[in-house]
Structure formats: C-alpha cells, structure tokens
Amino acid sequence: MKTNEDALIVALDERWKKYRQELKVCKQDFSEEAVHDLRVATRRLLAVMDILRTLDPHPRVQKVRRVLKNQLDSLDELRDTQVMLVDISESLANYPDLKSFDEYLLAREKKLLRKARKEIKDIKLSELKGRIEKSRASLEENANGSGSPWTTRLLSVVDQAYARAMQAFGQIEALQSASIHRFRVAFKKFRYMVEIVNPVLKDYPEGYLKQMHDYQSRMGDVQDAEVFLGALAEFAEQMEAASMPVPVRESFENHRSEMVAKFMEGKEEIHLFWRAAPEQNFTWEKHHEPVHRSSRNRSGGGNARIRKRQPAPADRQGKKENAKDRAGIEGTESGD
C-alpha cells in the first residue's frame, strides 16, 4: 500500500466484503453475537462512506450512508436491552428487587429479537451493491494521478472529524452524562477514520489504536449506567410504582458517578491521538512513547451473554479479526 488513495480503496473493499459476510452469517444463524458482529461491520463500512461523502459528495454516497445508518438505528434498542440484562444478571444476588425489572426486560428483548430477525432477513444487498461499486470506480478515477492534493484532502477529512470531537470535548460537563455521550459519538467517528488512514501515516504508534478503544470504552461505561437508570425509572412509572427501592437506585447512581469520575480522570488523553491543527505536527512526532493505560476488564464471571458494552477492537487493514478477539458490545450511536 503506497498511497492514501490505496488505503481508502482497500478499506472500502475489505469493509464491504466484511459487511456482506456478517450479514450472511446473521441471516443464517441469528444470534446475539452475530447481530453484534453485523453492527460492527456496518459501522466500519459507514466510516468509509463518511470519508467518501466529503471527497466525492455524490447523492449515491449519501444514500448508501442513510441505508447503513437506518440499519444500525433499528438495532439500538435491542442492544441497549441486552446490555441492561447483563447488568441485572450481575446484580440480582445483591438486589432481589430487580427480579421484576429483569422479567420486564426479558419480555422486551424477546419482542425486539423477533423484530430484528425480520428486519435483517429483509435487508437487500441490491440497495447498496450498485452504488458502492460506482463509488469505488469514482474513487479510483479521482485517485489516479491526483498526487499530494488528494492526500491533503483525505487527511483534512480526519482533521475535521477530530475538530468536531474536540468541540464536543470542550462542552463536557461531569454532571451532564449527555455531554459525555455527545463527545463519545463524535470520537467514535474520528476513531474509525483513523483506523482507515493509519496504514499510511508515518510512524503511527500501533498502541494508539488500542488506547482509543479503551478511551471510548470508558465513555461506554458512563452511557451504560445512564441508560440503565433511565430504563429503571421508566419501568417504575409503567408499573405505577413510586420507584425502585432506594438502595437499588442509589447503588446504580453511585456506579454512574464512579464511571464518570473514571472517564474524567483520563479525558485529556484525547490530545494524543491527532494533531491539534492541520498545519501542526502529529502528536506522535513529538511523543515517541504512547501513554499506556490498563483497560478495565468489565466482563467478569461466565455469563453466556456478550459482555457489556465495549467498542469493537481496533481494525487493522489487511489483518483478519479472530473470533476470540471480538470484545463485547458496540455501543449505540443515538443522536448521530
């Protein structure tokens, strides 16, 4: 791989192939893990289309992006429900009062699984195939003989994604979990774009890909806690109960506070991952050794469900992801 144009073409080819593979698996063997893998593949293909729509703002690119985004959105509620069921399974021994909430979520999951199975079976690759092939042909045509201006444009797309992430970063308030979630959505887009261009970035520290995964994971912890508390309040209202017993709610509120504090403690790590402005050097050109942070293992125990909400492991172009490397649940992207 010699040029940034090649990197983008390779990413499109690999991610389009991976998306088709995971869709086929999910249609044939519908399971929680298969749905998770399809979501990850969809999100990574979507990241390529996000770059393409800036470099080649053709309506077909936007149409592909819209189809992929709608597919992701249709699975969000199912994924949140499954994450909460994992939380409850780990807390029932200490808080038996959660049993009724657990039954409520199991009934919701059953309904959402039926809906998701039908929607996935109804996905037609023909909606995407022709448009993606034309987008690829246009990409090759634009790349041929384009030289450094193309490279500048490509990196500029990532610069813009980083700038949007930094804008959301500047609006973070520890007492407002929603502000952390907004930053997480923006950071996730930036992170997936870096995965696409990193093979042609000189001396890009490989450890940074995992650091970005772990950084996003800490924000996912906050979102998990926030979604759980919201669903708990909604359940109490539907059941016409005043609320869950105070010790139960206080426990999960304290957990949320702990997750917020954990993220806030290391939030400045964002500055490592890219350059502050297009005219400046990349940070790894200044810092040769990445700051290593141990990721918190949230899985624990032997629950058969996919464990908690985790970002997908870093995607390295040209390297096949082993099944054993799949790590947990990819978070939702509400508000994107």
Single-letter residue type at 142: N
Query: CA 332, CA 336: separation in Å to the nearest integer?
Result: 9
Residues constituting the chain: 336
Return per-residue pLDDT of the chain as tens, 336 residues.
445 557 888 999 999 999 999 999 999 989 989 999 999 999 999 999 999 988 888 899 999 999 999 999 999 999 999 999 999 998 998 899 899 999 999 999 999 999 999 999 999 998 899 999 999 988 887 766 555 567 778 889 999 999 999 999 999 998 899 999 999 999 999 999 999 988 778 888 889 999 999 999 999 999 999 999 999 988 988 876 556 677 888 999 999 999 999 999 999 999 999 999 999 988 888 655 444 444 444 434 444 454 455 566 666 554 434 333 333 333 334 444
Least Cα distance to 272 among 263, 282, 260 occurs for 282
Cα atoms found within 13 Å of the Cα of residue 237, Cβ hemisphere only: 6
User: Which residues, in sequence order, are bridge partners of residue 329?
Assistant: 309
Positive or negative: CA dihedral 9, 12, 17, 18: positive
CA distance 275 to 282: 4
Phi-psi region at 310: left, alpha or beta (left = phi > 0; alpha = psi -120 to 50):
beta
Q: Classify residue 201 as exposed, middle or buried by CB count within 10 Å of its CB (0-12, 13-18, 19+).
A: middle
Please give the pLDDT value at position 51. 92
Which residues are CB-neighbours of 299 under 8 A, at least 6 positions away?
A: 307, 308, 328
Nearest of 230, 205, 190, 227 to residue 311 by alpha carbon? 190
pLDDT at 103: 94
User: So what's the pLDDT on residue 49?
Assistant: 94
Q: Phi/psi of residue 309, each to 5°?
A: -100, 115
> Can you tell me the distance from the alpha carbon of 117 to that of 95, in angstroms, rounded to the nearest whole number?
33
Distance between CA 55 and CA 318 in Å, rounded?
23
- Rg for the chain (alpha carbons), in Å? 21
Domains of the chain are 4-295+307-318 (1.40.20.10)
pLDDT at position 154: 83
Helices (H) then strands (E): counts for the chain:
10, 0
Cα dihedral across residues 333, 35, 210, 89: positive or negative: positive
Q: Which of 9, 10, 280, 262 has the alpha carbon at shortest distance from 162?
A: 280
Write out the H or E segment, with its range, that includes residue 15: helix 4-28
What pLDDT score was predicted for residue 316?
A: 56
Place of tokens 């709608």: 70
